[in-house]
Amino acid sequence: MKQTRRDFMKVTGGAVTAYSILSLTGCLEKSSPGPGFDGPLEEKYFPNVCLQCPGGCGILVRTVNGRAVKIEGNPLYPSNQGGTCPKGQLGLQILYDPDRIKGPMQQMGERGDPNGFRPISWGAAIDVLVTRLREIRANGEPHTLVFMGGRYRGQMHGVFGRFLESFGTPNDVGHSSICEDGSPQAHWLAQGWKSYAAYDWKNSEYVICFGGEFIEAWRPTASLLRAWGQMRRGRMGTRTKFVQVEPRFSVTASKADEWLPVNPGTDAALALGLAHVIVREELYDKKFIEEHGFGFDDWTDEHGQAHRGFKDFVLREWSPEKAGEISGIPAGKIEKIAREFAAKAPHCIAAGARGTSMQSNGVFTRFAIHALNGLVGSIDSKGGILRQNGPPLAGWPEVFKDDTARTGFAQGRVDYAGTKRFPMAKKVYQDIADRILEGKPYPVNVLLCYYTNPLFSSPDIGRWYEAIKKVPFVATFSPFMDETSAHADLILPDSTYLERWTDDVIYPSLGYPVVGLRHPVVKPVFDTRNATDVLIEVARKMGGTVGRTFPWKDAEEMLKSRYQGIFEARKGSFVADTFEAWWEKFCAQGVWTAPPYPYAHEHPDQWPRVLVHDEKDKAGKEPGKFQFYSLHLKHKLEHLAEDAAEETRRPVEAEFESMLTDLKVTARGDELYLPHYEPVRRVGDSAEFPLVFITYKTMALAEGRGANAPLALERFVVQTREKWAASAQMNPETAARYGLEENDEIWIESTLGKIRTTLKLVPHHPDVVAMPFGLGHREYGRWAKNLGVNPNSIIVNEHDHLGGLAAWFSTRVKVYKA
Amino acid sequence: MVKWGMVIDLDRCAACQACSFGCAQENNCPFSLAAETRKGILMGWHQVLTTTEGSYPYPTQKFLPMPCQHCGNAPCVRACPVRATYKRADGITMQDPTRCIGCRLCLVACPYGVRAFNWFDYKKRWPEPLDQSINPTSMPVRPKGVAEKCLFNFHRLDRLKRDLEEGTVPRIVARSLGGKYTPGVEPSDEVWSEAVDILMRYFYYHQATPEDFEPHSVGYLPACVQNCATKARAFGDLSNGNSLAAELARSPRAFHLLEEIGTRPAVTYLKEG
Amino acid sequence: MHNAEIGAVDSQISVAPLRRTSGAFKVILVILGVAVGVFLATAVYQTVRGHIVHGVGNQYSWGIMVANIVNLIGISHVGIAISAFVRIMRLERYKQLARLAELVTFTALTAAVINIGLDVGRLDRFVPYVVWFGRWHSPFVWSMTVITAYFLASIVYLYLAMRSDLAQCATLVPRRKRFYEFLSLGYSDTEGERKAHTRTIWWLAVLIIPVMVSVHSVYGLIFGLQAGRPGWFNPFMAPYFVLGAVVSGFSAMVLVVAILRKVFRWESVFPPYIFRGLGTFLGFMTLLYIYFMLTELLTGQYGPPAKDWEVFYDILHGTFRWYSWTFFVGGLVIPFFLLFIQWVRKKASIALTVVAASAIFVSMWVMRALIVIPSFYHAHFLYSFEPYRPTWVEWVLVFGCYAVAGFFYLILCKIVPVLELPAKEAASGGTSVLPTWRKALVVITAIAGVGLIVAGISLHEMVPASLIWVVGIVVLITVPLQICLRPVVKSAG
């Protein structure tokens, strides 16, 4: 009996100890969180330039045994100084995206058939394209090739431009007319140059930001973030006051010192109200206006005709009371802000971006805002608004054109840019769909898209799904299966920015020139090729003049030929005796810069560069002036009217009038050329559609591109803490008025149709419905596909006709429970 | 004795979340799908919290970057039954995935809610070829059923210590340390903490120049600090009064989260405005 | 009133279950068997998929599983409570409840431990890591310690109290002769053995009561010591939990007795007044619990810090108000009055008692859930998440635990005599005394046990300190066995 007892104990005891020992030994040996350094790991850092947005920030990519495992900011890069924005961190989710296009593909079935694509070799793919291109040249209609370009940085645009020119088409359609073209045009009106401005944020002491998401989506993102930190706490004793003007209670608005919830589209009125106070109380910079201003006081032209000046205009017409009435900002507040702003002159900036410039009155609104800078003389002053300097690159070799090319290139643009329909426009991206549909001015036979996705990112995308069917041949260079590529015949997948040779000339921001270099950090993950190389190969295959236009064998060689110029300039952050040595340094550092920026206020010789003289401007004396009264515009319009008159044989005045009517501009006479307020136009009856629909970009995602990055989607909207969703947002009171509550499922309906989404309550301006843009892809990859809705499907294609801008915020909507 | 700490200047912070993304990438934190996030499952070790108050036209909104506070008196450490989470000598609250039994007492105990739990085997979360981006130089992806948390990138700090010993630290560090530093011998805590501060100040104040900059010097400070474009974050040895972190932590704007419950956080926040 | 034969139940009745098995019993066993099967399947499913199949997340990382653990531990209380009191207070008329209750302790505790094992992420590491690496200031480790002590102690207690009956069974149930001889480990009912047993058991009873209190106090403390958890951090938690345990324990007890009474036709053994007695006690305990609860909620209503206030507000007027009020009124207040009336009217209704008890039983579970869950809705820093929805997996595991306990219980009923057999008049001949070396061994063991415990605690920073003190406890627990298991010398003739 004792025996059995002991056995019994043995058995149980044994079992217990066995179990314990088994699991204990498991941990005892490795009871510390192994950092994972075991095994030979070869670590390297490669400089590169981010392409998550056009901002072009310098990055350092850490690779371990040939795998890219971490992205850091490049501290040598002056714009982001070692920081990155969240998108920058997501680069690896783009590079290693499992749903990237794996290689060249041709659509064998019906256009848009997801199963119709067949992989083909690069050689074959390029042949397909070349044959097509040869065809349309043979038919003598090279101009029916339309090229739509998106995020081409550095020399890439130039390369494409050369190709198109030598091929013989004027239709090089960039996408800035749906992005932010209003600002460049405002700069042209006042200063005669048409590009984004650089801002001396870090020295500014007062910033009024009209409709720009300073710390969310404005460019160059990381540079602005850096500037933000600098403005807040970077300088002993000075803390820039930041005033945010926009109807949406954005992250910027909440972080700003003051938020002016302006009535949507009325920013010009507010700006003019501010101008009124500054002029009335004589707070403006008399010296600057005296020396460099034009049209501030009344003036008389060479025909002895008297013209009204800006001073008289604002004093008479734009009392703060009136401005307040229109813009919804109390007059007292306007006066206060105006005084504070002027007090900091000239270290103050009145900036404006998409929210104001992409309105039906965009150009004039931005002109009115920009005029404030003229008033306080912050034009090209320390802490003011600057003109970006370019790098001293070597010139391009000649572009060869044969007769076909010449005749084709001489044709009018398919989008009517620069004509009297869109006088100031360089391109009218959003209208291509309509042109294709109506086949005027001529049908489009071949459509090439590089890193742009019109089927997702243009207003009223419904049109595009029709239009694309009408184009006989569509090819894209997209690395991702975006909506456009899904409807293409041929896909020539580009490599991502971490796999290819491209350069980057910095987005206007710092003033002084900065160039960065991208070179392969890892070997291409899939069978993709640098679009530049592909284009060069295509050109060479085409042969003849087109071929001769491309003397380089690939992108790397092309870049070297261009950067010879910087080497020869023998200045900037580094120099070298031989080009090879110089190039080596460039590759190693990934950036070349040439600070400091020569402020015109300190270097008077710079004025001609900053205030460009318009040769048609009879009144203007050398150098150019800051034109409060835009002669640039005056002459442009007059010339267009004259040309039209010659054709139609009607009096110039009649043509001029009809042109203005078509442009839907209300102002007449001198007011037309002065910064003034054009009432904003909207589509939809205000009774039926009481609310204004505004979209915006979140920090996690630049436009719809790179939408397949799960980390970004996980933290998509920081403000509402939304994950994997982008709901519409409304002011709580407004929502209550329509009987809606947080998280309700709602319909947002415009004249174009309706979209279903959930509702979040954010204290925006009561008249707006805001919705982040970037989700709602129908393609793109496992994570992005069919996630959320794309607001563009209900956004009408309204214009600022003068500038050919897409008026993104002209859609009226109604909202109701689903 | 080193005592690592962090200072987050909310006035500089722009709520861009680069810290969260950088952290996730550096520490192999898996992303969570929609259904999981609805359950409050976020595997990131760093979050940015948002609170909105007031109403139009004068609303206010606050954004709070939330790393582990590395409390001097850590509730999670007191709660853990198996010493899987413990304080390192340098003040880092560590978490040992090979030790954890997954009782989630630490998640419950943490007043800041910064801890995450491996609800399933997350190794499957990265499909081919996205798994290429998994970072082998930090914590490997954690196994199923254990808790995890922000570790102040201890692996980067230890890396610095190791490189100090091997003499492979960036020139600027070696130069500024001067006589105090002799390659080959194990660095003292003072040298270690000062090396971190040198890098911190270098990135915080200076525009790097080709002469003194070496790429690998971006690999030593915690990822969230290194990536922060607004320079809202400072990291360093709080026990060394001269370190940038300690200097900023003395600011009149300084405050800690939930000071009242006596956790003694090593993360200091600086008020806005 | 037939007080006469109280406690002296006919041995035929008591061993009946061991002899033949009724149809009702089989049916119930099969049902429970199926339930247990489902439970195990789900457990495996969860182990494979991970805890993602639960409704909890990083923000509310504990759910109904934890509430259930608390509830089970609570139920496990009653066994020792009753039998210890019966022993110490000499409540002869409730004598027959004792072993039923002890078995409840035994099964409930097992179920609880299984439940904990399923709630932690690493079942494989769970027990040994806690024992080996246990950190002295973690309440979880305390609970490990006291539960081990409580578990072992109650087994020993149960066994010793049962030993003589087991020996008797050997003769009463011939077909299991060898089995019961083995179980009784050579008990031969000598005078010495009888004395030893009664004395040891009495002392065990005395010693176990504080252990029992500590077990549930510790559970209270697991919550009560979380400074970072709004609504939890308060000194009241320990007594509050102990009382809760008594309440849910006794309600469970009423149900168990009622069921067995039916199944084994023990109407004569458990006459209505037994229920009335239990019911009355349960009633007043419930009243006390209501009082505790109101005190806590009231304090919460006035409670800065704000977050605590939010929690209690949410329980009374917010998200959880329907649960709270329904079960507070329907499950505690009304049942109390029912039992109270029964008490004052000096009438005994089994039905009424059972109804009240089951109401209390259920609502006590809900009350536990209301302690665990609301706190997570008002964490100091709220990340975005949707409300907690337990998944089917959690529900299956929760209910499964009771099935397991029940199944286990019924099996035990078929193995051991759950009713005490009438003691034989005269002790059998022969003597049994502890030889001196065994006496010495007892003393040494006792000293060793205490020594190990002390050592473990004083070495608390060292691994494996916890193992040392746990071993100490195990060693100590062998003392009563050593005293009672003694060699027997048969006297000639």
How close, in Å, is residue C475 to chain B by CA atoms?
23
List pLDDT tens digits, range A646-666: 999 999 999 999 999 999 999
pLDDT exceeds 50 at position C385: yes
| Among candidate residues C273, C284, C192, the one with its CA nearest the CA of residue C247 | C284
pLDDT exceeds 90 at position C485: no
Compute the distance between CA of residue A129 and CA of residue A450 in angstroms, rounded to an integer.
Answer: 14
Stronger pLDDT, A123 or C83, i.e. the higher one: A123
Compute the distance between CA of residue C245 and CA of residue C239 in angstroms, rounded to an integer.
Answer: 10
- Specify the range with the lowest mean pLDDT, choosing from A29-33, A408-412, C50-54: A29-33
Cβ atoms B94, B88 nearer than 8 A: yes
Token pair recorded at residue A392: 């001293």
Total length of chain C: 493
pLDDT exceeds 90 at position C166: no
pLDDT for position A17:
64
pLDDT for position A685:
94
pLDDT for position A622:
59
- Tell me the pLDDT band of A168, cut-offs 50, 70 and 90: very high
- Tell me the pLDDT band of C493, cut-offs 50, 70 and 90: very low
3-state secondary structure of A104: coil
Share of chain A above pLDDT 90, in %: 87
pLDDT for position A297:
95
pLDDT for position A14:
67
Share of chain A above pLDDT 70, in %: 94
Say how many CB pairs under 8 Å bridge A and C: 28
Compute the distance between CA of residue C187 and CA of residue C166 in angstroms, rounded to an integer.
Answer: 9
The answer to whether C384 contacts A721, with C-beta atoms less than 8 Å apart, is: yes
| Burial group, residue B258, by CB count within 10 angstroms (0-12, 13-18, 19+) | middle
Token pair recorded at residue C28: 């119930």
| Burial group, residue A26, by CB count within 10 angstroms (0-12, 13-18, 19+) | middle
Please state the rounded mean pLDDT for residues A25-51: 65
How close, in Å, is residue A667 to chain B by CA atoms?
32
pLDDT for position A691:
97
Q: Is A26 on the interface with C (CB under 8 A)?
A: yes
Token pair recorded at residue A7: 């056995």
Written as one string, the DSSP assignment of B190-218 is HHHHHHHHHHHHHHHHPPP-TTT--GGGG
Cβ-based neighbour number of residue B129 at 10 Å: 15
Which of C128, C186, C383 is the closest to A23 by Cβ? C128
Cβ atoms A174, A550 nearer than 8 A: no
Please state the rounded mean pLDDT for residues A153-157: 92
Q: What is the dihedral of CA A292, A295, A297, A302, to 10 degrees?
A: 110
The answer to whether A89 contacts B97, with C-beta atoms less than 8 Å apart, is: no
Please state the rounded mean pLDDT for residues B154-182: 93
pLDDT exceeds 60 at position A34: no
pLDDT for position C192:
81
Q: Which chains touch A (3 or more CB pairs under 8 A)?
A: B, C
List pLDDT tens digits, range C97-142: 888 898 999 999 999 999 999 999 999 898 999 999 999 989 999 9
B positions 141-200 inside 8 Å of A (CB): 151, 154-155, 158
Extract the runs of DSSP E, i.e. beta strands, from chain B. 4-9, 47-53, 60-66, 85-87, 93-95, 116-117, 147-148, 233-237, 254-255, 267-270
- Tell me the pLDDT band of A5, cut-offs 50, 70 and 90: low
Q: Is C461 on the interface with B (CB under 8 A)?
A: no
pLDDT for position A237:
86
3-state secondary structure of A48: strand
pLDDT for position A33:
36
pLDDT exceeds 80 at position B220: yes
pLDDT for position A249:
96
Compute the distance between CA of residue C313 and CA of residue C316 in angstroms, rounded to an integer.
Answer: 5
3-state secondary structure of A760: strand
Stronger pLDDT, C156 or A151, i.e. the higher one: C156
Max CA separation in chain C (angstroms): 83
Question: Quick one: CA dihedral B122, B123, B124, B128, positive or negative?
Answer: positive
Interface test with A, best of B13, B20, B56, B225 (most A CBs within 10 A): B56
Q: How far is CA A141 from CA A146, A542, C312, in A?
A: 11, 16, 78
Q: Which residues of A touch B136 (CB under 8 A)?
A: 36, 41, 64-65, 69
The answer to whether C385 contacts B100, with C-beta atoms less than 8 Å apart, is: no
pLDDT exceeds 80 at position A675: yes
Written as one string, the DSSP assignment of A433-469 is HHHHHHT-SS---EEEEES--HHHHSSSTHHHHHHHH
| Among candidate residues C47, A727, C138, A782, the one with its CA nearest the CA of residue B109 | C138
pLDDT for position A28:
42
Compute the distance between CA of residue A249 and CA of residue A252 in angstroms, rounded to an integer.
Answer: 8
Pairing of strands A258-260, A241-245: parallel
Q: Is B108 on the interface with C (CB under 8 A)?
A: yes
Compute the distance between CA of residue C233 and CA of residue C235 in angstroms, rounded to an integer.
Answer: 7
Q: Is C50 on the interface with B (CB under 8 A)?
A: yes
| Residue A272 half-sphere exposure toward CB, CA atoms < 13 A | 32
Please state the rounded mean pLDDT for residues C73-89: 83
CA C289 and chain centroid, separation = 18
Q: B55: nearest CA in chain A?
A: A763
pLDDT exceeds 60 at position A99: yes
Please state the rounded mean pLDDT for residues A150-169: 93
List pLDDT tens digits, range A187-232: 999 999 999 999 999 999 999 999 999 999 898 999 999 999 999 9
Peptide bond into C480 cis (omega under 30): no
Please state the rounded mean pLDDT for residues B91-101: 94
How close, in Å, is residue C108 to chain B by CA atoms?
21
3-state secondary structure of A64: strand
Please state the rounded mean pLDDT for residues A138-145: 95
Which of B81, B120, B263 is the closest to C138 by Cβ? B81
Please state the rounded mean pLDDT for residues A748-777: 95
| Among candidate residues C82, C106, C72, C67, the one with its CA nearest the CA of residue C285 | C82
Reported pTM: 0.94
Token pair recorded at residue A367: 């002109």
pLDDT for position A9:
58
Which of C124, C132, C185 is the closest to A5 by Cβ? C185
List pLDDT tens digits, range C283-300: 999 999 999 999 888 888
pLDDT exceeds 50 at position A32: no
**What burial letters (b/e) apply to C206-241, b meaning 16+ CB within 10 Å?**
ebbeebbbbbbbbbbbbbbbbbbbbbbbbeebbebb
- Tell me the pLDDT band of A620, cut-offs 50, 70 and 90: very low
Q: How far is CA A276 from CA A283, A335, B18, in A?
A: 10, 9, 41
- Tell me the pLDDT band of A310, cut-offs 50, 70 and 90: very high
Total length of chain B: 273
pLDDT for position C184:
83
Cβ atoms C465, C444 nearer than 8 A: no
Compute the distance between CA of residue A86 and CA of residue C426 in angstroms, rounded to an integer.
Answer: 88
pLDDT exceeds 90 at position B160: yes
B positions 65-104 inside 8 Å of C (CB): 66, 75, 78-84, 99-104
Share of chain B above pLDDT 90, in %: 90
List pLDDT tens digits, range A64-84: 988 999 999 999 999 999 999
pLDDT exceeds 90 at position C44: yes
| Among candidate residues C146, C311, C315, the one with its CA nearest the CA of residue C238 | C146
Share of chain C above pLDDT 70, in %: 96
- Tell me the pLDDT band of A696, cut-offs 50, 70 and 90: very high
Token pair recorded at residue C374: 């609301």
- Tell me the pLDDT band of A8, cut-offs 50, 70 and 90: low
CA B226 and chain centroid, separation = 10
pLDDT exceeds 80 at position A19: no
The answer to whether A85 contacts B16, with C-beta atoms less than 8 Å apart, is: yes
The answer to whether A76 contacts B20, with C-beta atoms less than 8 Å apart, is: no
Q: Is B207 on the interface with A (CB under 8 A)?
A: yes
- Tell me the pLDDT band of A13, cut-offs 50, 70 and 90: low
Please state the rounded mean pLDDT for residues A9-21: 63
How close, in Å, is residue B63 to chain C by CA atoms?
12
Which of C58, C133, C140 is the closest to B42 by Cβ? C58
Contacts of C366 (CB under 8 A, 6+ apart): C323, C327, C331
Say how many CB pairs under 8 Å bridge B and C: 154
Give helix then strand counts, H and E, for chain A: 29, 31
Please state the rounded mean pLDDT for residues C6-13: 62
- Tell me the pLDDT band of A752, cut-offs 50, 70 and 90: very high
pLDDT exceeds 50 at position C92: yes
List pLDDT tens digits, range A220-277: 999 999 999 999 999 988 999 999 999 999 999 999 999 999 999 999 999 999 999 9
Q: For all residues of chain C together, what is the average pLDDT?
A: 88
pLDDT for position A302:
86
